[in-house]
Amino acid sequence: MNKKHACSRFAPVLLLATLVLPMPAAEDNPFLTVPNTPYQTPAFDRIQVGHYLPAMQEGIRRHQAEIDAIVANAKAPTFENTIVALDMSGQLLGEVSAVFYSLLGAATSQPMQDLANELAPLLSTHNDNIALNGKLFARVKAVYDRRAKLKLDEVQRYLLENTYRGFVRSGALLDEKQKDRLREINKEHSLLALKFSDNVLAETNSSFIVIENKDDLAGLPDGVVAEAAATAKAMNMEGKWVFTAQKTSWIPFLQYSPKRELRESLYTRWFMRGDRDNDRDNKAVLQKLLVLREERYRLLGYKTPADFYLEPRMARTPAAVNEFLMRLWQPALAQAKAEAAALQKLIDGEKGGFALRSWDWWYYAEKLRKAKYDLDDSELRPYFKLENVQQGMFTLAEKLWGLKFVERKDIPVYDPEVRVAEVREGDGTLLGILYMDFFPRANKQGGAWSGGFRGTFYKDGKRVIPFATLVGNFTKPTTGTPSLLSIDEALTSFHEFGHALNTLFTDSRYRSNFAPQDSVELPSQIMEHWVLEPEMLKLYARHYQTGEVIPTALVEKLRNSSLFNQGFETVEFLASCFLDMAWHQLESALNVNVTRFEKKLMDKIGLIPEILPRWGSTYFTHIHGGYEAGYYSYMWSEVLDCDAFEAFKETSLFDRKTAASFRKHILARLGTEDAMTLYKRFRGREPKVEPLLKKRGLL
């Protein structure tokens, strides 16, 4: 997931926050002085929670002064004095916000969460004051109306058109009464979105099972047991074993534990997050979020939130998304039904005496995988030591683009587990800095994402280097055993590395990036294709004890099993896509019962009871975290990445010429020009869907 936290450049003057925090003097605030760090990276060795508020306030003050200067300019509006000036405004606020919101996800605390709730309405007001500034919009519109007469290149036109559209979509054409209501909606919505995320984090941290009887650990690999023991020790339950709602914990348990009642107990804790009718219940929060969105987009002239969100994307309309999803759904559902029947046959053959349920799927699928392909997860993990996977990512980037990664231990980090690499071109030119944060913590949101503490742009003719992040929640090392990743975790590592490369490679004159949501997964998902290619495996998949390269026989088993369980994986994902779209196509969520709505939808599309959506409504953070009506984007982008990878297969896996073209037209430019135009420059045509269908065994 590409999770880029940044304050919108639409912003102004705010009232002082009422939250009481220490207020260090400006000269002591690392955000307000030039950092004495390599490349002026964030001074995490000095940053304290109390630094954020005064830095934000100063950022807002400077930003407002820049906006005032644009509005007060006596000269006629031009592309340079209005559009470019607006694009370059708010740099301090943007960088402070990027650090704060990145750490709010990766290293949060109660003071951070309190401050986030205090800042949400203030930043919402700041953004609205700019987006709804009539005099500023008048200057933007004056340039936009003359666009046909201006000698602009494609990048400049794209910036102008999207800047104008951003104002309109933010309410610039509303009357004053409507603008006032929009401000109120935006404030309330920002607080509710934070509450939803806070509830999910709290629910995740409190969702676990404790095992006291060693016999209940039967069937579990040693590494899984060791991690559970370490988790228990960290929770002051030494001598016991704790399995949590973190993916690295609950999935291995469901894969290997023969204790059906325990599988059900842990899985139920996972999918009931935010739906327990307690003080962290998200049903009412979700409903309020949706009702506010509906009102917001009706004010702006849209029938539903989905119509608003999809307008600037490649898909354009809800109908196009629904048609795309259904095209994949029918063959995937048929495949999933066949897989369910095979698993039920396995249960019946063992005289299990019960019907397959969702908490049984992983266990019996793993059994069937082993029986059909003589392959199981525990046999593979020793070849995917985290450090080896990391080196594999670096090796791939070196082979494709000549990049060099040099560890830097002198760059401050926000947690001792974080690693930092300096990234250089083959000729030694500094490209950027990469922060890597791999393991789960109680103060860290679940999942994996990539963002940055600073994006790239040009200032005074020189490129400002980006600070990219790669954040995950992968299997932790235990006493005597390093971090050994599952295939899914290895794929996720390469995925987020692709996002990071996109951040590092971006080469734009301007700070603004307008990549359509349904194109942003192309740079990440294409990287997954290399992970299990035999040529690539030889370069990094080595046994953590012997150093032996993964055996050819094991690689062949991997290839033979590549389509195994694809019905399940595709269906559980698509079910969440349908759920996301259904919520955002509602004209009114006011009196909708969340539980009944979800069930009715799943019945309508024919989801079989043995499978649940990958994300349930009450913990579906994508639907307010930048992927609103956009969860389908992963699958839409998969059409792009499967087709794009074919370009490499048509030449060679590490073809430098193809890689250079992909970098030039996609990685460096995505968000600066029309996404389909860029793709066609790379591929010479629009993408075909057949490679995706083939990859998932649906063709």
Task: Tell me, yes or no, whether 399 and 542 share the same domain.
Answer: yes
Three-state secondary-structure class, residue 37: coil
26 falls in which pLDDT band (50, 70, 90)? low
Within-domain flag for 70:
yes
Task: Tell me, yes or no, whether 556 and 611 share the same domain.
Answer: no
Average pLDDT over all residues of the chain = 94
Comparison of pLDDT for 414 and 25, the residue scoring more? 414
pLDDT for position 54: 97
Angle, CA 368 vertex, CA 363 and CA 371 arms, to 5° = 130
For CA atoms 48, 50, 51, 56, the dihedral sign is positive
Mean pLDDT of 586-601: 95
Tens-place pLDDT, residues 324-341: 999 999 999 999 999 999
Task: Tell me, yes or no, whether 581 and 488 share the same domain.
Answer: no
Residue 16 pLDDT exceeds 90: no
Mean pLDDT of 662-674: 97
pLDDT for position 480: 87
Mean pLDDT of 504-523: 95
Task: Tell me, yes or no, whether 429 and 534 share the same domain.
Answer: yes
H runs (alpha helix) in 73-153: 85-88, 91-106, 110-131, 134-145
Task: Tell me, yes or no, whether 106 and 34 share the same domain.
Answer: yes
Task: Tell me, yes or no, whether 483 and 521 share the same domain.
Answer: yes
Mean pLDDT of 401-405: 98
Task: Tell me, yes or no, whether 580 and 526 share the same domain.
Answer: no
The CATH number that applies at residue 60 is 1.10.1370.40
Ramachandran sector of residue 624 (left: φ over 0; alpha: ψ -120 to 50; beta: rest): alpha
Residue 592 pLDDT exceeds 90: yes
pTM: 0.90
Q: What is the rounded distance in angstroms from the CA atom of residue 692 to the CA atom of residue 242?
A: 39
Q: What is the rounded distance in angstroms from the CA atom of residue 696 to the CA atom of residue 699?
A: 8
Tens-place pLDDT, residues 206-249: 999 999 999 999 999 998 999 999 999 999 999 999 999 998 89
Residue 4 pLDDT exceeds 60: no
Catalytic residue among 496, 598, 610, 638: 496
Q: What is the rounded distance in angstroms from the CA atom of residue 155 to the CA atom of residue 157?
A: 5
The CATH number that applies at residue 673 is 1.10.1370.10
pLDDT for position 1: 61
Residue 9 pLDDT exceeds 60: no
Task: Tell me, yes or no, whether 169 and 31 share the same domain.
Answer: yes
479 falls in which pLDDT band (50, 70, 90)? confident
Task: Tell me, yes or no, whether 413 and 471 share the same domain.
Answer: yes
Mean pLDDT of 49-62: 97
pLDDT for position 378: 86
Task: Tell me, yes or no, whether 517 and 405 share the same domain.
Answer: yes
Task: Tell me, yes or no, whether 599 and 685 share the same domain.
Answer: yes
Is the distance from CB of 376 to CB of 394 less than 8 angstroms?
no
Comparison of pLDDT for 49 and 223, the residue scoring more? 49
Single residue among 125, 150, 173 that ends a domain in this structure:
173
Within-domain flag for 355:
no
pLDDT for position 296: 97
Within-domain flag for 200:
no
The length of the chain, given as a count of residues:
699
Single residue among 540, 560, 580 that ends a domain in this structure:
560
* Nearest by Cα to 375 from 385, 383, 366, 363: 366
Task: Tell me, yes or no, whether 344 and 426 share the same domain.
Answer: no
CA 178 to chain centre: 33
Say how many domains are in the chain: 4
Single residue among 560, 588, 608 that ends a domain in this structure:
560
15 falls in which pLDDT band (50, 70, 90)? very low
Within-domain flag for 190:
no
H runs (alpha helix) in 132-256: 134-145, 154-169, 176-205, 222-234, 247-256
For 588, the domain range is 318-349+365-378+564-695
pLDDT for position 25: 54
Structure tokens at 43: 């001074």
Mean pLDDT of 391-401: 98
Residue 12 pLDDT exceeds 50: no
pLDDT for position 416: 97
* Distances 618 to 169, 198, 576, 594, 621 between C-alpha atoms, Å: 28, 12, 12, 9, 8
Q: Quick check: is 66 catalytic?
A: no
Residues in CB range of 480: below 8 A, 6 or more apart: 226
Within-domain flag for 8:
no
* DSSP tag of 303: S
Query: Given the DSSP bridges, would you call strands 449-454 and 430-437 parallel, antiparallel or unpaired?
Result: unpaired
**Residue 459: its H or E element:** strand 457-459
Within-domain flag for 590:
yes
Within-domain flag for 202:
no
Q: What percent of the chain has pLDDT over 70?
A: 96
Q: What are phi and psi of 209, to 5 degrees?
A: -120, 150
Within-domain flag for 71:
yes
Tens-place pLDDT, residues 74-117: 999 999 999 999 999 999 999 999 999 999 999 999 999 999 99
623 falls in which pLDDT band (50, 70, 90)? confident
Tens-place pLDDT, residues 423-464: 999 999 999 999 999 999 999 998 999 999 999 999 999 999
pLDDT for position 376: 82
CA 499 to chain centre: 9
Residue 2 pLDDT exceeds 50: yes
How many CB atoms are located within 10 Å of the residue 3 CB? 23
**Residue 493: its H or E element:** helix 487-505
